[in-house]
Amino acid sequence: MTSHADSPPVRRLADWDHDRLESLAEEYDTPLYVTDLDRIKENYTRFSSAFPDAHVMYAAKAHTGKSVLEAVLEAGGDIECAAWGELKRSIDAGADPNTLQYTAVNPPDRDLDYATDLADDAPGLTITIGATDTLDRLQARGYDGRIAIRINPGIGTGHHEKVATGADAKFGVPYERVPDVADRVRQEFELVGLHAHAGSGVLTEGLEEHCRAIERVGEMARRVGDESLEFVDVGGGYGVPYRENDEPLDLEKTSALVRDAVGELDATLKLEPGRYVVADASLILSEVNTIKEAPDTTVVGVDASLATLIRPAMFGSYHPMYNVSAPERESEPVTVGGPVCTSADVFAHDRPIARPEREDVIAIGNAGSYGYELASQFHSQPRPAEVALEGGEARVVRRRETLEDVTRVEQD
């Protein structure tokens, strides 16, 4: 039997059992998220095995579904959270609050209230700050516990400018101010670590630039005295191949380059993969409802939309697509779009797919990372159901919303 660590480094859309997918669409209706929890455990274990001396935490913002968080915890992972809701959901999934790390980015009062109240009973909780204002606000709440300082390394990486956080002034303490902030934290709180996150979606060819940011984090750790730190957290950002011909991340090379970049440290190295753990573990099933021959293309209308998966509209992201109902048909280039009234609601232009017909089921791959997390009720569309696969069994882990759910919070 294949161990999690030896599982394939990438799962292509063609690797899924398409007969099973078609039966899931028939049983649970569409649009439908399908998430393979076994794959999540495999991905986490493979990544953590590549960094045997590091502390690997899952970045919850990629997918905060309870079943996903439970799978990460079952695989032995801890969880990094970026908002109070993620803290609560992690605890509801079974995480010990003493193991959580809360990375505060311009945190609203309710977030800090929740985190500091939580720390009263869980002193192991770590709060990562990116502004001295946050220190002032924590101090005003009587908090004097564990603090990590988020560094802005001045270098952003990743698949899109909107995720290149390492060069964005919104994120982290400006690099040259970190020593002074560290001195203050040592006087008023418990300084336990430094943190940085350069960007998201980095594959092997982007590692050198990514590691330039990590070098700066290691240099700063030694500058402020890494022997007194518990950890140096270089964040996540490790990508998966969305296009069929892209190569998967070379984890052996990644581990070597990251270790070399951060340099010699007395502190523990910490990493926070999110996308790598969940992206290829989930897909969307959507039914074709319209075929329209236009002058320049064939338009294929499906029941999923940018409200189901916004990444193509937001980032111009590529997601593989497959006709699971009739893969044997000859492929032809088609434009696939949903029912939302905007030209942004298109999943693919001139994409070769086995010629779709009405009522065919189309699979949209690599939807696990920032897929359901960014789903919305735009156009008053109820959000889709999510089915989890585990040990060969399927179960609903998120029911399909109804129109009553869409309007439930409104008041006269």
What is the C-alpha to C-alpha distance for residues 264 and 210, in angstroms, rounded to an integer?
18
Q: Please say whether the beta carbons of 234 and 214 come within 8 A.
A: yes
From 235, 164, 157, select the one nearest 195 (Cα to Cα): 235
Please state whether beta strands 173-174 and 157-158 pair in parallel, antiparallel, or not at all (unpaired): unpaired
SS (H, E, C) 275-326: HHHHHHHEEEEEEEEEEEECCCCEEEEECCCCCCCCHHHHHCCCCCEEECCC
Structure tokens at 179: 């020593």
Residue 352 bridge partners (DSSP):
333
List Cβ neighbours of 308 (8 Å cut-off, separation of 6 or more).
31, 284, 286, 338, 375, 383, 384
- What the block records as the tokens of 280 is 């290829």
Does 247 show up as a binding residue in the annotation? Answer: no
- Say if residue 237 carries a ligand binding annotation: yes
Judge whether 273 is annotated as a binding position: yes
Query: Residue 175 annotated as binding?
Result: no
The active-site residue, picked from 1, 294, 341, 409, is 341
Report the Cα 116 to chain-centroid distance in Å.
25
> Is 211 known to be catalytic?
no
| Alpha-carbon span 303 to 320, nearest angstrom | 17
272 labelled binding-site residue: yes
3-state secondary structure string, 235-272?
CCCECCCCCCCCCCCCHHHHHHHHHHHHCCCCCEEEEC
Radius of gyration over every alpha carbon of the chain, rounded to an integer in angstroms: 22
Residue 167: CB atoms within 10 Å: 16
Strand, coil or helix: what is 370?
coil
If 0-12 CB within 10 Å is exposed, 13-18 middle and 19+ buried, where does residue 96 land?
middle
Partner residues linked to 336 by β-bridges:
300, 348
Q: For residue 321, count CB atoms less than 10 angstroms from its CB and return exposed for 0-12, middle for 13-18, buried for 19 or more.
A: buried
Per-residue tokens: 361: 């089921």
Residues involved in catalysis: 341
* Known binding-site residue numbers for substrate: 275, 311, 370
* Known binding-site residue numbers for pyridoxal 5'-phosphate: 237, 272-275, 370
* Known binding-site residue numbers: 237, 272-275, 311, 370
